[in-house]
Amino acid sequence: MNDRTVLISGAGVAGPALAFWLSRHGFAVTVVERAPGLRPGGQAVDVRGAAREVLDRMGLTERVRAAGVREQGMEYVDARGRTRARLPVAAFGGAGIVADLEIERGALAGLLYEATRADVEYVFDDSIETLAQHDAGVRLTFTRSAPRTVDLVVGADGSHSRTRALAFGPESAYVRPLGAYLAYFSTPYRNADGWFRMHNAPGGRVVGTRPTSDGRTAAFFSFRSDALDVDRRDRSAQQRLLGERFADVGWRAAELLAAAPAATDFYFDRYAQVRMDSWSTGRVALLGDAAWCPSPLTGQGTSLALVGAYLLAGELAAADGDHRVGHRRYEEALRAHVAKGQELPGGGISGFLPAGRAAIRLRDASMRAIASRPMRGLATRLFFSHADGLDLPEYAAGR
């Protein structure tokens, strides 16, 4: 094998999934994660289409199902909590409201970590500081650890990827904002009935609740906006901004915002997509949101990360570790599928965050139509068909 040692930046979903397959192909793998440990909670994420097959081949499907979130359907409500439209699971072909398999992001990352920790070196509370490629490998320095040289580096460190910035250039060259922001966090409130509820308010705003695997409620807030001057690591400033933006929104907005300061998994960021002409340069490759973030609107991020991890590891192994061949074949196998997965649902941001009352009423009416018996199954085709259409190759096991 030409290139045997791989360092992966990021221990979310993409990084440990790649580590799983690389270690099984005989590579020596290290995963470096900036956070002091695995990140808990997070949004409920979907596993669909080809990603389901990846989980099956990993032997993790039943464990994901056991740890999963079970939703009854999607419901749109007005400021008083009255139902305006409902899409029960039957509207999605009975497979579940948003996924064949649905699990909190942190729970999936935990399962992948447990499946790899015996064969993979994990280094938490650290990150890459500098990266220099040369003929024999990549020389790395870190915030805390001693420098080291590895054969290959993979950035699986999200849409704000430090690896991408070091190897490819500034974030502004690749990240395309979509004109809206998102906040998501866990609350102590119970969710008794398992419905995913959303209340849209004029001004392109939505507040929602989703059930968690332990029967509690996760809150999310989204709003349309041009670029904001807010530090993405300043949670207090972000929470003050949400309070200002949603001060006049009814339903449960005030109650949910009151729980934000105590949340250990509070997340705030803009909706954006990552667009790149190439996902590799020399011995450095990108994976998942670092390479192609489709935005949460598509519901494809986790599935694309799992599929991408399988293909990147498999193509490197098939090329006997020759990164020049493996990286090229990885992109050839995946780029069309990623392009499909980046397509936004009908209406894009405007459809998700209607600006005025008339647009909100029209959206509610369209959801009621989709839920009607003659239209059953249309919701799946409209929202989730982009996960399909990729036949996964078989790769010979390395050990």
Which tokens belong to 231?
């530090």
Residue 282 lies in a domain: yes
Residue 298 lies in a domain: yes
Residue 218 lies in a domain: no
pLDDT of 90 reads: 67
Evaluate whether 283 touches 154 at the Cβ level (below 8 Å). no
pTM for the whole thing? Answer: 0.91
pLDDT tens, residue by residue, 336-371 = 999 999 998 877 899 899 999 999 998 888 888 876
Give percent of the chain with pLDDT exceeding 70.
92
pLDDT of 98 reads: 41
Residue 62 lies in a domain: yes
pLDDT tens, residue by residue, 193-246 = 888 999 999 999 999 999 888 888 999 999 999 999 888 889 999 999 999 999
- Out of 44-58, 81-95, 158-172, 315-329, pick the least confident: 81-95
pLDDT of 62 reads: 92
Q: Please report how many Cα atoms fall inside a 13 Å half-sphere around the Cα of residue 152, on the Cβ side.
A: 30
pLDDT of 351 reads: 87
| Domain extent at residue 47 | 5-70+103-174+274-344
pLDDT tens, residue by residue, 134-144 = 988 999 999 99
The helix, strand and coil proportions of the chain, stated in percent and rounded to the nearest 5, come to 35, 25, 35
Task: Count the Cβ atoms, other than its own, within 10 Å of residue 202.
Answer: 14
Evaluate whether 344 touches 61 at the Cβ level (below 8 Å). no
- Residue 88: beta bridge partners? 73
- The CATH number of the domain holding residue 157 is 3.50.50.60
Evaluate whether 302 touches 108 at the Cβ level (below 8 Å). yes
Residue 165: name the closest of 125, 129, 122, 136 by CA.
129
Residue 300 lies in a domain: yes
Give percent of the chain with pLDDT exceeding 90.
70
pLDDT tens, residue by residue, 145-155 = 999 999 999 99
Residue 41: name the closest of 352, 267, 337, 321 by CA.
267
Residue 352 lies in a domain: no
What is the average pLDDT score of the chain? 90
Which tokens belong to 16?
């440990």
Q: What is the 3-state secondary structure (H, E, C) of 282-303?
A: CCEEECCHHHHCCCHHHCCHHH
Whether pLDDT at 95 is above 50: no
Residue 150 lies in a domain: yes
pLDDT of 193 reads: 84
The residue count for the chain: 399
Residue 255 lies in a domain: no
Whether pLDDT at 374 is above 70: no
For the chain, state the CA radius of gyration.
Answer: 21
pLDDT of 96 reads: 41
Residue 1: name the closest of 311, 316, 283 by CA.
316
Domain count, the chain: 1
Angle at 222 between CA 272 and CA 11, to 5 degrees: 55
